[in-house]
Amino acid sequence: MRVLVVNAGSSSLKLRLLGGDDRVEESADLPAGPAGFDTSRLAQILNGWAAPDVAGHRVVHGGMTFTGPVLVNDAVRQQLADLTDLAPLHQPKSLAGLDAVTARLSGVPAVASFDTAFHTTIPPAAATYAVPREWQERYAIRRYGFHGLSHAYCSARAAQMLGRPLAGLRIVTCHLGAGASLAAVLEGRSVDTTMGFTPLEGLVMATRSGTVDPGLVLWLEEHEHISPHEVATALEQRSGLTALAGTGDMREIEAAAARGDPDSRLAIDVYIHRLAGGVAAMSAAAGGLDVLAFTGGVGENSALVRERAAQRLAFLGVAIDADRDGGHDGGAAVADRDITAAGAAVTTLVIAAREDLQIAREARRLLGAPSRQSPR
């Protein structure tokens, strides 16, 4: 079954056409302007590709309504729109991509896969905030978590690389990119994650602050006389690594730190401190740690981040082999690799982020099509 994977982001519409063997047959990124996506360009792209059997769409928020992939019809489309209040920055973009592609693929079924669905298995103790009950009930306040498609794929791929079933494995997956989050995966099920009611909670990210004292937010609103919207914009777009080092690009920060820039060195220290503490917390949620898996742009490409994190996590049995972490085979980069040092109690892996494969697998499974047994 040929699957068109659609990922609508803040600045582009990413399209990937996967064949039945999961090979990428076609790929395109369509920029999004103030008026949305260029529908004529979208039509031109899709008209030049082989016809897909199904379109699989990444949707950021499914609330607690959607705990797995769903075939989109008018009723489902309305339910997705009704969830916009929970993800006002992301849900409209997901829906715009869904509508634009559906309008040009008449008769092709559309399947929505959700970033939140993998985390709907988190137990109440981890999902519940200690806030007034009326808030919880009125606004469905709980830890939703995000990046679930990436965490689901990464944990399944880790088990495959080890030749072991997910049952019995305690895995912490580290999705480290412009957005970043961790997940504790126990026997294939998410039992905790660092992002919460919104994607702002948790780790330090490229432009997001990660977790801050809520009292700080209240203090700023009172003393700086700034609106909640201004605070939210600052925490979402002007914080994180950008606030600490002047850029959210870890490659630039590492280069500047190597030249002795104190702000960049501090930014890395803060990033690693929050990352190591998060991994330790996720390990506690999983009841221990068998596998530590790095994925995402920073997770895959920053040997410094992996090395520094491993040093801080040595007490858990994490240790990596610098030679294996080089990730080269005859001069060509090896995407997925085991970088564990000899004798280490915890297996450490580097795994390429492939949400597209996870979305395609979910679409095929929902439609009852034969699917490869592995996540690759």
Question: How far apart are the C-alpha atoms of 133 and 151, rounded to whole Å?
Answer: 30
| Domain-terminating residue out of 80, 99, 114 | 114
In this prediction, the residues of the chain whose per-residue pLDDT falls under 70 are: 35, 327-334, 370-376
Judge whether 155 and 186 are in contact, CB under 8 Å.
no
When divided into structural domains, the chain yields a total of 2
**Per-residue pLDDT tens digits for 1-44:** 999 999 987 778 999 999 999 999 999 999 877 767 888 999 99
pLDDT at residue 330, rounded to an integer = 44
pTM: 0.95
Q: What's the first-to-final CA gap in the chain, in angstroms? A: 15
pLDDT at residue 94, rounded to an integer = 92
pLDDT at residue 143, rounded to an integer = 98
Pairing assessment for the beta strands 3-8 and 54-59 based on DSSP bridges: parallel
| Domain-terminating residue out of 99, 114, 129 | 114
pLDDT at residue 283, rounded to an integer = 98
pLDDT at residue 173, rounded to an integer = 99
Question: How far apart are the C-alpha atoms of 305 and 75, rounded to whole Å?
Answer: 45
Which CATH number goes with the domain that contains 97?
3.30.420.40
Q: Which of 203, 317, 326 is nearest to 267 (CA)?
A: 203
Q: In terms of domains, do 350 and 283 share one?
A: yes
Q: Is residue 313 part of a domain?
A: yes
Q: Is residue 119 part of a domain?
A: no
Show the domain range for 35.
Answer: 3-114
Q: Is residue 124 part of a domain?
A: no
Q: Which of 73, 149, 55 is nearest to 111 (CA)?
A: 55
Q: In terms of domains, do 95 and 176 share one?
A: no
Q: In terms of domains, do 8 and 107 share one?
A: yes
Q: Is residue 376 part of a domain?
A: no
pLDDT at residue 371, rounded to an integer = 56
Question: How far apart are the C-alpha atoms of 115 and 355, rounded to whole Å?
Answer: 10
Among 115, 290, 325, 336, the active-site one is: 115
Q: In terms of domains, do 87 and 172 share one?
A: no
**Per-residue pLDDT tens digits for 295-336:** 999 999 999 999 999 999 999 999 999 999 975 444 445 689
CA atoms within 13 A of residue 103's CA, in its CB half-sphere: 12
- 115 flagged as catalytic: yes
Q: Which of 148, 211, 158, 214 is nearest to 182 (CA)?
A: 148
Q: In terms of domains, do 265 and 206 share one?
A: yes
Q: In terms of domains, do 256 and 347 share one?
A: yes
Q: Is residue 156 part of a domain?
A: no
Q: In terms of domains, do 169 and 98 share one?
A: no
pLDDT at residue 332, rounded to an integer = 46
pLDDT at residue 373, rounded to an integer = 47
